Amino acid sequence: MFGLIGFPLSHSFSKEYFQKKFKNHQIDEEYELFPIREINDICILLNKNIKKLRGLNVTIPYKESVLKYLTDIDSDAKAIGAVNVIKICEKDGIPVLIGYNTDWKGFLSSLLPLLNGKSISNALILGTGGASKAIAYALRKIGIKCSFVSRSIDKGDYSYNNLDNKAIASHQLIVNTTPLGTFPNVSTCPDIPYEAISRNHICYDLVYNPEQTEFLRKCEANGATVKNGLEMLYNQADLAWEIWIDRV
């Protein structure tokens, strides 16, 4: 059995994607959603299913807090400080949980075609959670400087209260890593000065359900190039598959 932990999970496409992948490869495995309200509940989940569980995906809000439950962490995940994939195996009768981060590669491979030779030097990342750290890691790999926007100024370079038109104009790439706009709360979006968005901007939303979030709608209305997180979801899922299935 494989599965996804996070809360809430009503928006997730992961179960459908992996079940189809298992069927296409004629692999007799299950994939389930495990909406746990507290990260401590992972212990209950593991104790109940440890003989069956071989891997987990991790989503909001547990990509950072899950670290303390892991036996080992891959070098990329350690550098990022967040995990979205766990491989579960056994050594001498004891469960071994190894954490990985496939978000950064999944995002980067999805973003690169959008850049298409454009000279992007600065990115604005909305949110400071585990997903934001993976995005920053990916962008720094290709030489893009990152600034963070948080609800609290002590957690980011900007707060939503002091983010002005000048800041928006000076960051040609804007990435929303918050869950704002996710189904079923589709009318919400990050509170930024959208009037400063222009055709020179690339605006990327990690949210993929709905297909066009309010954030993307507002950015596109001002001429920006926009993309949602569906391709990233599939990219990171395929990388998780490689970790679970191909690395036997």
- Tokens 């992948």 belong to 21
Give counts: helices (H), strands (E), the chain: 8, 12
Per residue in 161-217, pLDDT tens? Answer: 999 999 999 999 999 999 999 999 999 999 999 999 999 999 999 999 999 999 999
Indicate if the pLDDT at residue 247 is higher than 70: no
| Average pLDDT for the chain | 94
Confidence of residue 41 (pLDDT cuts 50, 70, 90): very high
Confidence of residue 248 (pLDDT cuts 50, 70, 90): very low
**pTM for this prediction:** 0.93
Query: What's the maximum distance between 2 C-alpha atoms anywhere in the chain?
Result: 60
| Residue 176, H or E segment | strand 173-176
Looking at the chain, list the stretches that DSSP marks H as alpha helix, in order from N- to C-terminal side.
14-24, 41-49, 75-80, 103-115, 130-141, 165-169, 214-221, 230-241
Which has more pLDDT, 27 or 106? 106
**Number of C-alpha atoms within 13 angstroms, CB side, residue 156?**
23
What pLDDT score was predicted for residue 241?
A: 95
Catalytic residue set: 63
Q: Give CA separation, 185 vs 128, 179, 210, in Å.
A: 20, 9, 10
Indicate if the pLDDT at residue 65 is higher than 50: yes
